[in-house]
Amino acid sequence: MAKGLSILFIFSKNQLLVLLIFSIVSFVSISLISALILIISCLLLHLLLFFFDIGYNPSLIFCLPTLFLPQEQELTGLVVWVTGASSGIGEELAYQLSKLGVSLVLSARRVHELERVKRKCLGNGNLKEKDIFVLPFDLANRSSHEVATKAVLQEFGRIDVLVNNAGKIHSSLIVDTKMDFFKELIELNYLGTVSLTKCVLPHMIERKQGKIVIVNSLVSFVPIAISSGYCASKHALRGFIHSLQIELTKHPGIIVSNICPGPVHSNIRKNALTEEVTKTVDHNKIQDRQMATRRCVRLMLVAMANNLKEVWIGEQPYLLVSYLWQYMPTLAWWIIRKFWEKRIDLFKSGVVRIFLSKYQ
């Protein structure tokens, strides 16, 4: 040991500096190599999940949240306002939340559908009539948001969780899409969500607590074709969410969650627009591999219970493409372009084969 020290002391300052730099470079190189190995391992795992169809096994997807994270029972007793509650993800959210014993506010345009959902929630046995408030309104009608918010506060006295779920999708090429259609999507998917959030936010700031859950989409950061207006509205929503999360830094009790599902079995695809506002796509031609709505909602509830800021939910190959776009964008860009070359031709010929377009 003494000999080693004596040798060290005869080094010049320049030699010691070289040794220090070499040590730092070696450490950084090893760290980068380890990180690269981890990323490659994750990608290989997802390739295996895709090719062997393991991605459809719920037990594999649920194992981590089930074993290590608080479950959705953490939401019991809260007042939860769900928009788009008449069908799809919103409807399933209402059913699963009702089993947890939350006070529910159900909003959408179709009153009769909301009443149907309410009856089924009451049939679960955990809620009484007074625990469910049906509040019909159109999210695109921003002038109604303040009145709706006051109605909820008058009914329950507080809003613990706002789930911005209402939205619309489309299937059409940019060159064929009317400008009115783009405007409608921005009004509903983006401005409607922003407006309702702004109405509820002061109440949460005053109480110093609350959860704002926004059902976004994987296409908010992964590019696709044939749904440009929808993608643009979701990209805008993603920017809004991230800015809001930063602005609420001094309000740690208020959590903003960006939920990004992939394709999900939902009535949103039945109401998908084509190139004009008044026309809808023939949903019988849609050929997507979609996640079960129940499974998607279960994962959403786990994310909400754990106050996660961003969650990607989907089957393979959608998650694999998302990871590639995040970590290897050049490769992902090449794959996506190659894939869509054929799909666009099929779409033009009337065969709707869409890879990443039927999102909530």
Residue 254 corresponds to which amino acid? I
- Token pair listed for 46: 């997802």
**Model pLDDT, residue 177:** 87
CA 258 – CA 264 distance, rounded (Å):
17
Q: Is 230 a catalytic residue?
A: yes
Residue 168 corresponds to which amino acid? K
The DSSP 8-state label assigned to residue 144 in this structure reads G
Percent of the residues in the chain that have a pLDDT greater than 90, as a whole number: 51
**Model pLDDT, residue 47:** 60
- Token pair listed for 40: 């490659």
The DSSP 8-state label assigned to residue 87 in this structure reads S
- Taking the domains of the chain in order of start, what are their residue ranges? 59-348
Q: Between the CA atoms of 167, 217, 357 and 330, what dihedral angle is there, to the nearest 10 degrees?
A: 150
Mean pLDDT of 50-54: 48
For the domain spanning 59-348, the CATH number is 3.40.50.720
Residue 256 has pLDDT above 50, yes or no: yes
Of 13-17, 71-75, 234-238, 323-327, where does mean pLDDT reach its minimum? 13-17
Mean pLDDT of the chain: 82
Structure pTM? 0.76
**Model pLDDT, residue 343:** 84
Tokens 């009337």 label which residue? Answer: 350
Q: Name the most confidently modeled range: 79-83, 273-277, 310-314.
A: 79-83
**Model pLDDT, residue 24:** 77
pLDDT digits (tens, 9 = 90+) for 199-214: 999 999 999 999 999 9
pLDDT digits (tens, 9 = 90+) for 135-156: 999 999 999 999 999 999 999 9
**Model pLDDT, residue 64:** 46
User: What percent of the residues of the chain are helix, what percent strand, and what percent coil, each to the nearest 5?
Assistant: 60, 10, 30
- What DSSP letter does each residue of 254-311 carry, written as one string? EEEEEEEE-BB--TTTTT-B-SSTT-B--GGG-----B-HHHHHHHHHHHHHTT-SEE
**Could you say which of 230, 318, 327, 359 is catalytic?**
230
Residue 56 has pLDDT above 60, yes or no: no
